[in-house]
Amino acid sequence: MMLKEAVSAAECVALQLSQDADRYAALGQTLRTTQFNTALTIARGSSDHAANYCAYLIMARMGRVVASLPMSLLTLYKSPLVTRNTLTIAISQSGQSPDVVEPTGYFRNGGATTVALVNDITSPLAQTAEWAMPLHAGKEQSVAATKSFITSLVAGARLVAEWQNDPDLKAGLAALPDALAAAAQADWSPAIDVLAPARNIMVVGRGISFPIALESALKFKETSALQAEAFSGAEIKHGPMALIEEGYPLMIFATRGPTQAGLVQLATEMRGRGARVLLAAPSDIAERDLTLPTAATPDLDPIVAVQAFYVMAAKLAEARGMDPDRPRHLSKVTKTN
């Protein structure tokens, strides 16, 4: 089921892009004409990784600093946070977790602009936010989120494209369904050969690829019971380096952009230290171990990169004797306060 749902992401994205155009345009107009002193994301798990990607685009393209809200400040500590001139973006598949719904309601009641990117448009979160934008991923059966994560990334990029009113980013989004369909056919079997017997792995990204490293590490844990940690390529030399030993697996996402050269160099250095590097990079990078598919514009590359990863992750779980659709101790909807 995980593999089937991951591969269906292209169709889900095509559906999303065909819907709600006027609503996204109206949201973009609102964002362009509203003054924000604070911008926050509200999310957990895979949705938080999608929020990190959206935040990166907002900071890089719109110049607004975005922070991830520690939800317990409101749900447990009852902190009197200032809400005026604030934008909040909540992301959720189910829209049911109290620690996502309650902060969204708190900020909306305080006059903030509240946006929810949510798959279940009838959920409490969708009812609470001022702007509820449906993901159109359809019902997801597998516990491990795949198509809902990809559609969350697309919705975040779509929000930014309308906010910036950028024709190139809009055109890149329109081309995503074909790019995702191609990415689902990528051959990442060399990663399965390395990771099927592995006990742990580091996953590395930087800049716009770091949210994908975070998501990949989570999926390794969820679906393959593989101890995985995600690190920025800028941080790995500060302490995590001490874990590197002969044969230690290291997956590096070197998507296009200013961080790519440093990540390719990091792969070379780590190989020199004995690590078993899996460098995921576009076809023009000769040192690559895994070919990263690309989108129409580099800012959308993480979306097609994670599509290729998901297909491999589902097959890896089976190679390790696991059922990716029923991870141990996990359920589809998690409700935390």
- Catalytic sites, residue numbers: 332
Do residues 251 and 191 make contact, with C-beta atoms less than 8 angstroms apart? yes
Beta-strand (E) ranges in the chain?
38-42, 66-68, 86-92, 113-118, 131-134, 200-205, 227-232, 249-253, 276-281, 290-291
- Return the exposure string of 121-145: e unless at least 16 CB atoms fall within 10 Å of the residue's CB, then b: eebbbbebbebbbbbbbeebebbbb
3-class secondary structure, 198: coil
From residue 75, alpha-carbon distances to 146, 176, 193 in Å are 28, 37, 44
- Can you read off the two tokens belonging to residue 279? 């460098």
Nearest to 66 by CA among 26, 23, 31: 31
Residue 182, number of CB atoms within 10 A of its CB: 15
CA-CA-CA-CA torsion sign (324, 329, 332, 337)? negative
